[in-house]
Amino acid sequence: MGYKYFEEFSEEATNQMKENFSSILTGVGEDKNREGVLKTPERAAKAMQFLTQGYTMDAEKIIKKAMFKEDYDDMVVVKDIELYSLCEHHMLPFYGKAHVAYIPNGHIIGLSKIPRLIDVFARRLQVQERLTHDILEAINNTLKPKGVAVVIEARHMCMMMRGVQKQNSSTTTSGFRGQFEKIETRNEFLKLISSDLA
């Protein structure tokens, strides 16, 4: 049995966006009837639904589905989690890595749910500052750990492709709650995400 790839799209949304993308092609001076772009409006409509699927996801349900009672009370760090999002100002991509840590308070979360949680918020029109805050608060409010920390490092195509066109710039945002507001705990986390332990 071979690999089967499956995506589900709203027919209504696809048709509406197809018309809009067709108008964009005309607006930029492209011949929308040219062979190479005949199917571009439909492809773009489906791509946009995929890239913004976070609007249909529930972060709290994802966390609660994989919460387990555990007496472990030391730091849990998941670092270098790839993320891709769309800037809400220009609808251009920004991409990078997220580093997440928490200190359990009676419950742990399945490790795969942390990257999944990041996708819930990254797959929306975003700004990096709010993305950081959304991830932080979802973990803090649902898992209720002793502390949680989130750091995101990202490159923004709206700065690289247009505007100031600075190719090597990156943006770092961070958020800390609970025990991570203490400098020694925060420093331990920052040291762990900056070191190569493998």
Amino acid at 111: L
Same domain, 26 and 89: no
Establish if 5 belongs to a structural domain. no
Q: Which residues pair with 13 in a beta bridge?
A: none
Tokens linked to 59: 């972060």
Same domain, 42 and 64: no
pTM summary value: 0.90
Whole-number pLDDT of residue 2: 58
Same domain, 160 and 86: yes
Amino acid at 155: R
Establish if 18 belongs to a structural domain. yes
Same domain, 34 and 66: no
Mean pLDDT of the chain: 93
What CATH code is carried by the domain that includes residue 45? 1.10.286.10
Where residue 91 falls (left for φ over 0; alpha for ψ -120 to 50; beta otherwise) is left
Same domain, 148 and 169: yes
Whole-number pLDDT of residue 161: 85
Same domain, 41 and 74: no
8 to 19, 55, 121, 133: CA distances (angstroms): 19, 15, 19, 29
- Nearest alpha carbon to residue 84 among 75, 71, 97, 67: 97
Core vs surface per residue 89-112: b (16+ CB within 10 A) or e: eeeebbebebbbbbbbeebbbeee
Mean pLDDT on 152-172:
87
More reliable by pLDDT, 195 or 11: 11
What CATH code is carried by the domain that includes residue 184? 3.30.1130.10
Q: In total, how many domains does the chain have?
A: 2
Query: Burial level of 148, CB count in 10 A (0-12/13-18/19+)?
Result: buried
Same domain, 44 and 73: no
- Nearest alpha carbon to residue 159 among 83, 89, 98: 89
Same domain, 67 and 130: yes
Q: Residue 154 pLDDT > 70, yes or no? A: yes
- Enumerate the active-site residues: 87-90, 128, 156, 158
Whole-number pLDDT of residue 167: 75
pLDDT tens-digit readout, 23-75: 999 999 999 999 999 999 999 999 999 999 999 999 999 999 999 999 999 99
Same domain, 172 and 84: yes
Tokens linked to 102: 């928490």
Mean pLDDT on 128-138:
98
Q: How confident is the model at residue 164 (pLDDT cuts 50, 70, 90)?
A: confident
Q: Residue 124 pLDDT > 70, yes or no? A: yes
Whole-number pLDDT of residue 165: 74
Contacts of 128 (CB under 8 A, 6+ apart): 85, 94, 152, 154, 156, 171, 173
Whole-number pLDDT of residue 159: 86
Whole-number pLDDT of residue 39: 96
Establish if 85 belongs to a structural domain. yes
Mean pLDDT on 78-94:
97
Q: How confident is the model at residue 197 (pLDDT cuts 50, 70, 90)?
A: low
Q: For the sheet containing 76-87, what is the strand order?
A: 125-126, 76-87, 93-103, 147-156, 171-178
